[in-house]
Amino acid sequence: MADSTAVYCTLQDVYDRLSVAGVTLRIDDDPSAYSAILAEASSWVEQYLLPIYTSTAMLTNRWVKYATAWKAAELFACRRLNPVPASLATRLEKLEEYLEAVVAGRMEVPGLARRRLSVPRVSQPRVTVGPFGPKVVISRKRGTQKRTPSEDYPQPRDPTEPPYEHPEG
């Protein structure tokens, strides 16, 4: 998995949660600290979602933006060892529970499609008869990158078996 340098929210999104004065009071000693805080909040969201969703898809998702902004608001609030407001801490606890449910597969992020590798796959068990008796074989590959109908879903065929004739055709 490649490292991501995406930032999923803006400083304005944090202003909407803490107010301009609230953010300014927390970074008055180092005004350039906001970029590091936004990057840290984005990394916090990525630790949950990046194995499941792509970074480019998360960049345009509203829910990811809001989740990152709430985490950034918490990081601004606790900067210089200040206490986090109780309402913000409650919001973050619920957000973390939701993200853990997404990782566990019980919930989905609204508006995001899962990575192709994290989607459950369909396998087809079939029985083959060989010189040592019957054996169950699982065919995992169900398609190809080519999008021609004849090659889209290759089916294993037994050359010794007669072709199947449909009763209606």
Per-residue model confidence as pLDDT tens digits over 102-135:
999 899 999 998 887 656 666 677 888 878 888 8
The mean pLDDT value of the chain amounts to: 83
Per-residue pLDDT tens over the stretch 37-59: 999 999 999 999 999 999 999 99
Checking if the pLDDT of 77 tops 50, the result is: yes
- Beta-bridge mates of residue 129: 134
For 51, residues 6+ apart whose C-beta sits below 8 A from its C-beta are 1, 103, 115, 118
Q: Where are the domains of the chain?
A: 11-117
Burial of 6: CB neighbours in 10 Å, binned 0-12, 13-18, 19+: middle
Give the position of tokens 């803490």. 18
Checking if the pLDDT of 143 tops 80, the result is: no
pLDDT at residue 2 in the model: 46
Residue 24 or residue 148, greater confidence: 24
pLDDT at residue 127 in the model: 83
